[in-house]
Structure 1
Amino acid sequence: MLAHLPILQVILPLVAAPSCLIIRKSTLVWLFTLLVSFAAMTVSVLLLQQVYAGGPISYQLGGWNAPWGIEYRIDLLNAWVLFIVSALSSIVLTAAHASVSKELEHNRQTIFYTLYLLCFAGLLGIVATGDVFNVFVFLEISSLSTYALIALGKDRRALWAAFQYLIMGTIGATFILIGIGFLYMMTGTLNMADLAARIPALSESTTVLAAFAFIFIGICLKLALFPLHLWLPNAYSCAPSIVTAFLAATATKVALYLLLRFTFTVFGVDFSLSHLPLDTLLIGLGLVGVFAASAVAIYQANIKRMLAFSSLAQVGYMVVGIGIGTATALQATLLHLFNHALMKGGLFLALAGLVYQLGGCRIEHFRGLGRTMPWTMAAIVVGGVSLIGMPLTVGFVSKWYLIAAALEQQLWWVAVLVVLGSLLAVAYIWRLVEAAYFQAPDNARPKNDTSNEAPPGILLPAWLLIAANIYFGIDTRLPVEVTSAASQFLLGGAAQ
């Protein structure tokens, strides 16, 4: 069984998805989906342990050896991302039963869990596969199910948000497919390791350059990197709360993984950061994204939308690390990938509790919330403090590494802008604190009534992630050790 862990990682949720339609009863479907997600998390933990101890794992599907057959190749980079995606999915699903029962009609709940597992399987498949065409296949599985999940939102604007994402997502996927076609035309292979061996001899080819450009733009659309981000705020703010928490914690992380994979292992460091001025482009776009998204977030009345723009800013920090391109910078990116999943997972689950009780999460809903929903608001405050990057939280750890990486390369201006960007987060988080603790509660709610607290089924998973923000901000051994090894692997190339 241990020899088949790479394929089990993907097959478990993929086979389980249509099984939901057989079970049908909402509570049983939720329990079944939760069990599948925890099984996938167990597989990811075992894979991470194996790779960390013994090096990359190669798994040939159907006994066909690479590059002729399809290969699943698990190294430290994707083992780390598989763990993040499966762990966050499991925690988010723990809160799904209460939230989904409140926000979705009974006849849509089975469909929700079916689509959720399809999206989950697609994300895991993107990360696990070592074949670039299979990246496209799994990208379509996750994207199509995501469009449908967003459209399940009660607000009619969810349909427009899903349609907008469908258009932009299709453009991104088409660009990626065109790039893959160009690569296959020039190399005759779709295997990532084989491509990495053949591309250096073709680095002067305009077709390979065009392939890189198409793939890069397509991935940046999926990543929502400024200025290709227009789909994300509407998608996050209009989707059901559990969908928002899941996507914020996983989807952009998988897109960032693809950017790292293609940049550093498929095309290689020399081609991407030396042969092309990609480092300047990524640092510039990342920093502009940080300031533009943070500035817009300050003026948002819908808090889900505010945190969506905040996510765009956090993507900017991770992209800056890729642009700097050193071991410390890549470690900062991989750390922030993990840390941001913890932050936004906890914050959006806390907002799910707010939506459960009050039916919305606009700034007016926060008035007096510190007295009427103290535990829910405390989770939002701690998550917000981590988002700012205060010491003893995970947000501080990854930003510290990013600033250190910038200073190592004498990029003083980058370090200063990272600090200033973090200060902008203070402005929009303070708006929530001010409304919750310094404004009177809504007249419809008694001032000292705490019976409106979010249900334990939502509050406990939210606090699990919020507590992780503190724990891994103090005890950094696990993420720092794994990301350090993964960053060294990336700079060492695909041959390792």
Structure 2
Amino acid sequence: MTAHLPVLPVLVPLACTPLCLLLRSRTAAWLMFLLAALGSLLSAVLLAVRGADGETMRYAVGGWPAPQGIEFVISGFNTPVLLLVSFVAVIAAVYARRSVAAEIDTRRVPLLYTCLCLTLTGLLGITVTGDAFNVFVFLEISSLSSYALIAMGRRRRALVASFRYLVIGTVGATFVLIGIGLAYAVTGTLNMADLARRLADIDGNRALLASVVFVFVGLAVKMAVFPLHAWLPAAYAEAPSAVSTFLAAASTKVAIYVFCRFAFTVFGATLVFGTMPIGPVGLLLASLAMLIGSAVACFQTDLKYLLAWSSVAQIGYIVAGISLATSAGVSAGYLHMINHAVVKAALFGVAGLLLLRLGSVRLTALAGLGRRMPWTFAAVVIAGLGLVGVPPTAGFVSKWALAAALLDQGQWPVLVVMLVSSLLALVYIGRILEIAWFRNPVEPGETAKPPASMVAAIWVLVLASLYFGLDPTVPAGLADAAADALLGNRGE
């Protein structure tokens, strides 16, 4: 079994997918998704332990050796993402049972869990595959199932959000496919390690330069990098609460990982950040994302839309670190990717809990709830301070690491933008807390006790963000290992 361990994170959710639909039971479908998430997390933990010494594990699918066959690769650069996606999937599964039962029609519940299993399969497949074309295949699996999940939202505008995501996401995926096709035309191979070896001998090829542009523009759409972010706010805000909790933590993070994978281990940092101006462009777009995403969030009247626009800004922080193309910058980007995923999943979880209790997440509906739901809004305080970057939260640790990396490269203008964005984050988080704690309730009365499973899922994430702030050894170690693997082992 240990020989087949690298394929299990993908195989387990894939095997559970048809069972969710065939069993046609809400409880059975939920159990299948929970089993898929737990199986993936257990496999990811075992792989992380096995690769703790820096070993790169390879698995030839079907026994066909690379580069002719498809292989799965487990190394320092994808272990953090594998653990993150699997962990968030388990939290989302625990959270989903009561949330989905309240928001989704009974007949569609098995279909929702089927799509969640497919999305998990696609995201983990993207993470572990060592084949460029299979990145596209798994990207489409996760994307198509995500479109269906978003369309299941409680309001009719969820259909519009899903269709917009479908159109923009399809354009992005087509760009990625064209870029991979051009790389194949130049090298005659699709295996990432083989691509890296062959591309090292090619210099100044126009098809290669076009390949880099197509791949990175397509991935920028999937990452929701400003100004290619138009699909994200409505998609996250209109999706069912359990879906937005999962996607906000995992979807764009996997796309960011793929960007790093192609930039550093396939095309190479010399070409991407030396010959081509990807670094300066990335820093510019990241700065715009930090400012505009945070500023727009300040004017939102719906909690889920506020959090979605906040995600646009937070993606800017991650992109800024990676665009430095230094070990400190990439490590800070990975660290913020982990910390933001935990914090944002907690906040979207709170939004779903409030939606269940109130039927609305408009900010005006939250008036006075801080005094009636103190534990729920204590979670908002802690997670919100993590977005701002206040110690001792995880957000402070990753923002501090990013600030140090920016200063080391003399990028003080980007650092100033980051500080302004953090102050704007304090404004929109402060708005939530001011309304919840200091305004009189619109409808005085007792609030029903929230479901224990949803509260537990939220507080696991909140406590994780506090723990990572007090003792960042685990996420920082994973981020450093990822940076070392990306910058030091081209072609692995």
**TM-score, scaled relative to structure 2:** 0.99
User: What is the identity, as a one-letter code, of the residue corresponding to 1:217?
Assistant: V
Residue 179 (structure 1) aligned with residue 175 (structure 2): no
**1:453 to 1:291, Cα distance in 2 relative to 1, 3 A:** farther
Tell me the alpha carbon deviations over residues 350-371 of structure 1, each in whole angstroms, 9 at most, x when there is no partner. Answer: 1111011111111012100111
SS at match of 2:78: helix
In the aligned structure 2, how far is the partner of 1:235 from the partner of 1:293? 15
> Which position in structure 2 is the counterpart of 1:133?
133
> Which position in structure 2 is the counterpart of 1:348?
348
Tell me the alpha carbon deviations over residues 45-94 of structure 1, each in whole angstroms, 9 at most, x when there is no partner. Answer: 11111112251101111111110010111111111101000001101110
In the aligned structure 1, how far is the partner of 2:187 from the partner of 2:92? 41
> Which position in structure 1 is the counterpart of 2:63?
63
Contact 1:374–1:453 (Cα < 8 Å) also in 2: no
Tell me the alpha carbon deviations over residues 230-265 of structure 1, each in whole angstroms, 9 at most, x when there is no partner. Answer: 000010111101110010010010000011111111
Tell me the alpha carbon deviations over residues 372-398 of structure 1, each in whole angstroms, 9 at most, x when there is no partner. Answer: 221111111111110000011000000
User: What is the identity, as a one-letter code, of the residue corresponding to 1:406?
Assistant: L
SS at match of 2:174: helix
Residue 431 (structure 1) aligned with residue 431 (structure 2): yes
Contact 2:226–2:285 (Cα < 8 Å) also in 1: yes
Residue 479 (structure 1) aligned with residue 475 (structure 2): yes
Query: How big is the shift at 1:488?
Result: 1.4
> Which position in structure 2 is the counterpart of 1:460?
456
Contact 2:78–2:482 (Cα < 8 Å) also in 1: no
Which has the larger displacement, 151-160 or 482-491?
482-491
In the aligned structure 2, how far is the partner of 1:38 from the partner of 1:56? 23
SS at match of 1:203: coil
Tell me the alpha carbon deviations over residues 300-327 of structure 1, each in whole angstroms, 9 at most, x when there is no partner. Answer: 0011011000000000000000111111
> Which position in structure 1 is the counterpart of 2:360?
360
Which has the larger displacement, 359-368 or 409-418?
409-418
SS at match of 1:202: coil
> Which position in structure 2 is the counterpart of 1:491?
487
User: What is the identity, as a one-letter code, of the residue corresponding to 2:59?
Assistant: Y
Give the aligned CA root-mean-square deviation in angstroms: 1.0
In the aligned structure 1, how far is the partner of 2:17 from the partner of 2:142? 12
**1:436 to 1:453, Cα distance in 2 relative to 1, 3 A:** farther
> Which position in structure 2 is the counterpart of 1:110?
110
Tell me the alpha carbon deviations over residues 180-220 of structure 1, each in whole angstroms, 9 at most, x when there is no partner. Answer: 11011110000000111111222300000001100000000
Contact 1:203–1:209 (Cα < 8 Å) also in 2: no
In the aligned structure 2, how far is the partner of 1:67 from the partner of 1:32? 34
Where do 5+ consecutive residues of structure 2 fail to align? none
User: What is the identity, as a one-letter code, of the residue corresponding to 2:394?
Assistant: V
**1:71 to 1:214, Cα distance in 2 relative to 1, 3 A:** same
In the aligned structure 1, how far is the partner of 2:32 from the partner of 2:452? 20
> Which position in structure 2 is the counterpart of 1:288?
288
1:212-361 paired onto structure 2 within 5 Å: 212-361=212-361
User: What is the identity, as a one-letter code, of the residue corresponding to 1:223?
Assistant: M
Residue 211 (structure 1) aligned with residue 211 (structure 2): yes
In the aligned structure 2, how far is the partner of 1:482 from the partner of 1:154? 38
User: What is the identity, as a one-letter code, of the residue corresponding to 2:87?
Assistant: A
Percent identity over the alignment is 46
SS at match of 2:149: helix
Aligned residue pair count: 492
Where do 5+ consecutive residues of structure 1 fail to align? none
Tell me the alpha carbon deviations over residues 142-196 of structure 1, each in whole angstroms, 9 at most, x when there is no partner. Answer: 0000000000011000000000000000000100000111011110000000111
Residue 22 (structure 1) aligned with residue 18 (structure 2): no
Contact 2:298–2:427 (Cα < 8 Å) also in 1: yes
Contact 2:34–2:93 (Cα < 8 Å) also in 1: yes
> Which position in structure 2 is the counterpart of 1:159?
159
SS at match of 2:53: helix
Query: How big is the shift at 1:402?
Result: 0.4
**TM-score, scaled relative to structure 1:** 0.98
In the aligned structure 1, how far is the partner of 2:214 from the partner of 2:251? 20
Query: How big is the shift at 1:28?
Result: 2.1
Which has the larger displacement, 402-411 or 98-107?
402-411
Which has the larger displacement, 4-13 or 395-404?
4-13
User: What is the identity, as a one-letter code, of the residue corresponding to 2:258?
Assistant: L
Query: How big is the shift at 1:495?
Result: 4.0
Contact 1:130–1:193 (Cα < 8 Å) also in 2: yes
1:373-384 paired onto structure 2 within 5 Å: 373-384=373-384
SS at match of 2:201: helix
User: What is the identity, as a one-letter code, of the residue corresponding to 2:454?
Assistant: I
In the aligned structure 1, how far is the partner of 2:235 from the partner of 2:415? 31
Contact 2:266–2:491 (Cα < 8 Å) also in 1: no
In the aligned structure 1, how far is the partner of 2:150 from the partner of 2:481? 36
User: What is the identity, as a one-letter code, of the residue corresponding to 1:38?
Assistant: L
**1:221 to 1:70, Cα distance in 2 relative to 1, 3 A:** same
Tell me the alpha carbon deviations over residues 323-365 of structure 1, each in whole angstroms, 9 at most, x when there is no partner. Answer: 1111111110010110011001111111111011111111012
> Which position in structure 2 is the counterpart of 1:409?
409
User: What is the identity, as a one-letter code, of the residue corresponding to 1:477?
Assistant: T
> Which position in structure 2 is the counterpart of 1:470?
466
Query: How big is the shift at 1:43?
Result: 0.2
User: What is the identity, as a one-letter code, of the residue corresponding to 2:170?
Assistant: T
